[in-house]
């Protein structure tokens, strides 16, 4: 894959000076058109061989384009804060919004390649990382991102010459480190591992562009022209928004006999007040003791998802959990319609930024499942979007679990009659009126559509690392105890 990047490509300085003004002007025009349209973000990955001109090229792009509209991030070894989250957390936080350009030095490819070359990771681990990267990039592209992946390459002889040249010049000596020379010693293995990784991840919607890095004029024009062509093509052919024209979509997994998982819940289950109060104190005490263990504080965190019918008691259940925790340990995240800032990012972005560090809880009152529930039923996204969301959500939760996050998910279910009773009670009670809205009444008319969406959600996203717990919630006492017990037992099992 690197053969054509070792041919000694060269462009004269005269040609560079002749072509660069027009190219610079066109890039600026494309950048301002991107800002004006705000229809998609541009993500530029900068990877490759040490000394191949990555930094110089990015500096040139910032000089040619408007740097106020470019977010440049460099990724070295993860910080202590970053090590306490899943590996992809730090990349999600730096994704540019629609209408902006993001340049990522040392992207999600760096760590998997380094681990394999150093011997700290085996081939199956690298292949697993490659599969996860493909899923992530596919999601980015389907969410609208224009993704460029540049690999700056030098032959072994060229890299040695380049590092030696930089080291001799007092003005550039600081740019060559012991790490650069250490990597050079393992050049052949770096080449094999990198070539395998690039070959497996150069796909139609996110291909690699391999750039020979020896000649600065050649690499600069190559990168600039590739960016301009990609941005201009997308800006000039951006499809019109099709969400407004969505048609009614059929159920995804309608069972042949008409019996769904929610239909099998025994909603008549109840617990007496005395039994509830004793058990509540017991389970809250157990939860509190678990979260005070040194192992939990250093090695575990918790993401709890609360979904359910309107008025099913999500808020009350969350309060019974937080009553057992130190207020410094948890964050409750109420999820409503996305803000303007959140709409400018992939839909999972606003949830990734709330992933807790070790020893902490994130309690989501509604969650990323809105994509396959509200957005599906209300037709806020296309059928293709909510159908692909199942696998994207499973990928997200698997990454959490692999990073020692205890993922617990609750669906609180009430009957239509019980919901109506609670709605009417809220309307009559002055301090509860804020809990009932026109949307709640409107959603009742879509009861059947929501029931089917919930069935499909449970079928497709209840996994071994993040199973759904279905909670019979007609009786609030029963629901709260079941949730507390399930959460406590999940944390205890992980420890």
For 268, the token pair is: 């008549």
| pLDDT score of 118 more than 70 | yes
**Residue given tokens 């384009």 in the structure block:** 65
Q: What is the pLDDT of residue 257?
A: 58
Q: What is the mean pLDDT of residues 431-459?
A: 83
Confidence grade of residue 248 (pLDDT, cut at 50, 70, 90): very low
Q: Sheet holding 468-472: strands in order across?
A: 330-334, 361-365, 301-308, 405-413, 468-472
**Residue 243 pLDDT greater than 50, yes or no:** no
Separation of alpha carbons 111 and 82, rounded Å:
13
Structure tokens at 33: 């058109």
Long-range CB pairs of 336-342, under 8 A, 24+ apart, other chains included = 336/366, 341/97
pLDDT tens digits, 197-231: 999 999 988 999 999 999 999 999 999 999 999 99
Q: How distant is the alpha carbon of residue 194 from its chain centre?
A: 24
More confident residue, 303 or 2: 303
- 355's CB contacts (< 8 A; 6+ apart) are 85, 86, 89, 301, 303, 362, 400, 405
Residues 256 and 259: their CA atoms lie apart, in Å, by 8
Could you read off the pLDDT of 350-405 as tens digits, one per residue? Answer: 999 999 999 999 999 999 999 999 999 999 999 999 999 999 999 999 999 999 99
Let me know how many helices (H) and strands (E) the chain has, helices first: 21, 10
What pLDDT, on the 0 to 100 scale, is given for residue 174? Answer: 86
HSE of 250, CA atoms in CB hemisphere, 13 A? 4
DSSP 53-104: SHHHHHHHHHHHS-GGGEEEEE--S--HHHHTS-TTHHHHTTPPPTT-EEEE
Q: CA nearest 109: which of 51, 47, 58, 50?
A: 47
CB-CB neighbours of 453 under 10 Å: 21
- When mean pLDDT is compared across 153-167, 396-410, 475-489, the lowest value belongs to 153-167
The model's confidence at residue 431, banded by pLDDT at 50, 70 and 90, is low
pLDDT for res 438:
76
* pLDDT tens figures, 311-363: 999 999 999 999 999 999 999 999 999 999 999 999 999 999 999 999 999 99
- CB 468, CB 411: distance < 8 Å: yes
pLDDT digits (tens, 9 = 90+) for 56-101: 999 999 999 999 999 999 998 999 999 999 999 999 999 999 999 9
What was the pLDDT predicted at 430?
Answer: 65
Residue with tokens 């020896």: 214
Sequence-distant (≥ 6) Cβ neighbours of residue 283 within 8 angstroms:
324, 481, 484, 485, 488
Residues of the chain with pLDDT > 70, as a percent, come to: 95
First to last CA, the chain: 46
CA distance 455 to 390: 13
Query: Which is higher by pLDDT, 401 or 442?
Result: 401
245 confidence band (pLDDT: 50, 70, 90): very low
On the 0-12 / 13-18 / 19+ scale of CB atoms within 10 A, 360 is: buried
pLDDT class for 239, splitting at 50, 70, 90? low
Q: How far apart are CA 292 and CA 286, in angstroms?
A: 10
DSSP character at residue 369? G
CB proximity list for 239: less than 8 A, separation 6 or greater:
none
Average pLDDT estimate for 460-469: 95
8 A C-beta contact, residue 73 and residue 43: no
Mean pLDDT of 273-291: 97
DSSP state of 433: G
- Report residue 46's pLDDT band, with 50, 70 and 90 as the boundaries: very high
pLDDT of residue 258: 63
Closest CA to 43 of 213, 205, 285, 242: 205
pLDDT at 375: 96
Q: Give the pLDDT confidence score for residue 172 in this predicted structure.
A: 83
Helix (H, G, I), strand (E, B) or coil at 36: helix
* CA separation for the pair 199, 429 (Å, rounded): 63
For residue 431, give Cα distances in angstroms to 269, 336, 340, 426.
28, 21, 30, 8
167 against 245, higher pLDDT? 167
Higher-pLDDT residue of 169, 241 = 169
Q: Torsion angle of alpha carbons 291, 296, 300, 303, nearest 10°?
A: 0
Tokens of 204: 């139609």
pLDDT band at 244 (very low <50, low <70, confident <90, very high): very low
């Amino acid at each position: 894959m690197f053969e054509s990047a070792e041919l000694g490509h060269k462009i004269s300085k005269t040609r560079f000076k002749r072509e660069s003004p027009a190219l610079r002007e066109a890039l600026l025009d494309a950048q301002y058109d991107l800002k004006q349209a705000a229809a998609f973000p541009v993500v530029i990955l900068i990877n490759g061989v040490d000394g191949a001109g990555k930094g110089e090229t990015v500096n040139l792009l910032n000089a040619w384009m408007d740097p106020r509209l470019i977010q440049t991030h460099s990724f070295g070894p993860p910080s202590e804060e970053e090590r306490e989250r899943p590996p992809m957390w730090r990349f999600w936080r730096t994704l540019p919004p629609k209408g902006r350009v993001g340049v990522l030095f040392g992207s999600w490819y760096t760590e998997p390649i380094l681990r394999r070359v150093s011997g700290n990771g085996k081939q199956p681990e690298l292949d697993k990382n490659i599969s996860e990267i493909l899923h992530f990039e596919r999601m980015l592209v389907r969410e609208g991102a224009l993704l460029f992946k540049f690999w700056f390459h030098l032959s072994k002889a060229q890299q040695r010459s380049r590092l030696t040249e930089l080291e001799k010049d007092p003005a550039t000596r600081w740019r060559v480190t012991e790490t650069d020379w250490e990597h050079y010693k393992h050049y052949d293995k770096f080449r094999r591992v990198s070539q395998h990784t690039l070959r497996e991840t150069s796909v139609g919607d996110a291909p690699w562009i391999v750039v020979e890095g020896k000649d600065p004029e050649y690499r600069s024009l190559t990168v600039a022209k590739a960016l301009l062509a990609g941005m201009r093509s997308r800006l000039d052919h951006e499809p019109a928004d099709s969400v407004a024209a969505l048609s009614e979509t059929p159920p995804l997994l309608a069972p042949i006999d008409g019996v769904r998982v929610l239909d099998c819940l025994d909603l008549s289950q109840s617990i007496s007040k005395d039994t509830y109060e004793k058990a509540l104190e017991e389970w809250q005490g157990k939860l509190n003791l678990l979260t005070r263990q040194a192992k939990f504080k250093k090695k575990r965190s918790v993401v709890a998802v609360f979904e359910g019918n309107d008025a099913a008691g999500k808020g009350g259940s969350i309060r019974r959990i937080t009553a057992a925790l130190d207020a410094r340990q948890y964050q409750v995240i109420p999820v409503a319609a996305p803000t303007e800032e959140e709409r400018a990012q992939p839909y999972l972005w606003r949830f990734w930024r709330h992933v807790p560090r070790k020893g902490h809880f994130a309690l989501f009152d509604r969650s990323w499942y809105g994509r396959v529930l509200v957005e599906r039923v209300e037709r806020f996204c296309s059928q293709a979007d909510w159908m692909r969301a199942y696998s994207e959500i499973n990928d997200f939760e698997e990454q959490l679990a692999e990073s020692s996050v205890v993922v617990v998910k609750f669906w609180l279910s009430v009957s239509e009659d019980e919901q109506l009773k609670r709605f009417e009670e809220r309307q009559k009670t002055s301090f509860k009126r804020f809990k009932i809205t026109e949307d709640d009444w409107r959603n009742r008319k879509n009861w059947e559509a929501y029931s089917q969406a919930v069935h499909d959600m449970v079928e497709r996203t209840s996994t071994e690392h993040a199973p759904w717990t279905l909670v019979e919630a007609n009786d609030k006492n029963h629901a709260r105890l079941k949730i507390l017990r399930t959460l406590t037992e999940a944390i205890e099992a992980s420890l």
